[in-house]
Every structure is written in C-alpha cells, then in structure tokens.
Amino acid sequence: MSKQKDLEYLEGLRNGDTKIIKALYTTVFPKVRDFIFKNKGKHHDVEEVFHNALFQLTIRLKVDTIEINSSFEAYLFTMCRNIWRKELNNQKRWVRKDAFMTLKEEEYDHSEAIIAQERWDLFEKKIELLSPNCRELLKAYFKKISYTEIVAKFNYSSDNVAFQRIFRCKKQLADLIKSDSSYEKLKK
C-alpha cells in the first residue's frame, strides 16, 4: 500500500468521504471479520468493532494528526483487533449470582479507547528502535512463548540467560517509552 493511498484514506475519513468508507469496508472489513470469527465473535460483533474503530479514528483525525508507521489498512486492522481483545477481556467479567449470569455493566468510553490506541502507537514506535534481536525476543515473550522454547529459538544456554536478556530488553523499551515527550500525557 502506497503512502499516497494511506493519505487518501486519512483525508477521506477526516472529511467523511463515503467512497473511502466503502473502500475500507471492502478491503479491511473482511480481514476484521475473519479475525473476530476466529476469536469467538459473531457478525454483529464485527460490525460494532469496525464501526467503533472508524469512529475513534475519525475523532482522532479531527483533533490531531496521526503518524502511521505501517500501512493504513494494517493500522485500522490493529485498532479493530485491540478493540475486540478489550471486549473479550470485558466479557470475562461475568458474575454468578443466584443462578443468573449477569455481565458487569461498563460503559464503553471512546476517549479511553483513543488513549489506549495512542499508547499502542507509542509502544510500536519505540519497539522499532530496539535491536532486531531484542525486538524478536520481546515479540516471543509477549506471545507467551515458554522460556524453554525461547532458549531453543535464540540458542541461549539456559532459561536464566533468556530471562536476563528479556529483562534487559524490557528495561530498554520502558526507558525509550518513558523518555518520549508524550509519555506523561498517556500515563494514568
């Protein structure tokens, strides 16, 4: 995807261009649908998540500029994935009471989702500044790959060595994030 096409998508969303929105429904919506279906979702979930992502993105574009390091389509898909994962986490908050299942009511706050996306953007930007080895190591760690598998994949001598390297890489990443000017604004 060209940067020119990404700019067209951004401008189209900012201005409410229906052709751009239809194009996003044609290109990105099917990928989001497949992801959500594979992760316990239904068709109405897909529509809600995609709509929320477009809404949040439009609001962000009207108030601020967005720096996208990947393609726009990948960015939008990542937003949808994050919204769906948050929804799945909220669904885990079922409370059993007198044989009735009730979902703890939580109002979905778009501003909270926008801040979460900005945090994710900062994280992605800073992880790219790490060495390739640290990036790959942290990606394996964040995917919850066991230390034994990490030792084998990276040819470390022991779990302890893997643990120490992960610790150092996490510290480097945390330092990079904390040194960014937007960190104070995004931390709770």
User: Residue 139 belongs to what domain range?
Assistant: 129-188
pLDDT digits (tens, 9 = 90+) for 30-39: 999 999 999 8
Do 70 and 12 belong together in one domain?
yes
Q: Residue 37 is encoded by which pair of tokens?
A: 């279906």
**77, 167, 175, 188 from 151: Cα distances, Å:** 32, 14, 25, 35
Residue that the structure tokens 């500044």 belong to: 129
Do 53 and 137 belong together in one domain?
no
- Say how many C-beta atoms besides its own lie within 10 A of residue 45's C-beta: 19
Residue 124 lies in a domain: no
Return left, alpha or beta for 2; rule: phi > 0 is left, psi -120 to 50 is alpha, else beta: beta
Dist. CA 164–CA 162, nearest whole Å = 5
Q: Are 1 and 72 in contact (CB under 8 A)?
A: yes
Residue 131 contacts by C-beta under 8 Å, 6 or more apart in sequence? none
pLDDT band at 110 (very low <50, low <70, confident <90, very high): low
pLDDT at 92: 63
Dist. CA 158–CA 122, nearest whole Å = 32
pLDDT at 43: 87
pLDDT at 33: 93
Do 68 and 10 belong together in one domain?
yes
Q: How many domains does the chain have?
A: 2
pLDDT band at 10 (very low <50, low <70, confident <90, very high): confident
Over residues 120-142, mean pLDDT: 87
Residue 35 lies in a domain: yes
Dist. CA 178–CA 176, nearest whole Å = 6
Return left, alpha or beta for 75; rule: phi > 0 is left, psi -120 to 50 is alpha, else beta: alpha
pLDDT digits (tens, 9 = 90+) for 42-61: 888 888 899 888 888 888 88
Amino acid at 51: H
pLDDT at 80: 92
Amino acid at 76: L
pLDDT at 35: 92
Residue 103 has pLDDT above 70, yes or no: no
Mean pLDDT, the chain, rounded, equals: 81
**117, 122, 123, 125, 133 from 175: Cα distances, Å:** 20, 12, 11, 13, 17
Dist. CA 162–CA 137, nearest whole Å = 9
Residue 105 has pLDDT above 60, yes or no: no
CATH of the domain at 16: 1.10.1740
Do 177 and 109 belong together in one domain?
no
